[in-house]
Amino acid sequence: MGQVRAATAAEDTASMDVTFVAGESYEVVVRGHRIRVDQPPEAGGGDEAPTPVELFVASLATCVGFYAGQYLTRHGLSRDGLGVSVDFRMASDRPARVAGVHLSVRAPEGFPPARREGLLAVASHCTVHNSLVTAPEIVIDVR
């Protein structure tokens, strides 16, 4: 059983627990929520859930969306139609990693063009993005 620690805005530390399920599937429990990850068949999995890398990219995209939504609400604008499209590519060399991510925020219908730069500035500084730009200390041990 592995343990992953993550910080949240409300707390200095938070905990998650990751356990093996079967095949290449694992389950994460965080604050009572359960999230499963798996691998596609070509990596030995059953493709019954997103991969850890897909969840990593999804974390970035949903964080960008959250910050964009907060910006819209702060400025009295609707979130209806707000979305984030994301494409990512894996590195072709070692170590295995995500080499590039492109996110496009879809502003709601009627979004004022004059607010575009402000929305981009806020969305570009979400917590997950900040954590990638200023990398956290990561410690892995075996018990």
pTM: 0.89
- Whether residue 125 lies inside any domain: the answer is yes
Check whether residue 41 and residue 75 sit in a common domain. no
- For helices 52-74 and 116-123, what crossing angle results, to 10°? 140
Longest distance between any two alpha carbons in the chain, whole Å: 55
Check whether residue 74 and residue 127 sit in a common domain. yes
Residue type, 14: A
Check whether residue 41 and residue 74 sit in a common domain. no
Check whether residue 40 and residue 55 sit in a common domain. no
pLDDT at 12: 84
Cα-to-chain-centroid distance, residue 57: 5
Domain that holds residue 41: 1-49
Return the beta strands (E) in 23-111 as ranges.
25-30, 33-37, 83-90, 98-106
Q: What's the N-to-C CA distance of the chain in angstroms? A: 9
Q: Give the residues of the chain that fall short of pLDDT 50.
A: 1-2, 8
Check whether residue 16 and residue 69 sit in a common domain. no
- Whether residue 80 lies inside any domain: the answer is yes
pLDDT at 1: 44
pLDDT at 73: 98
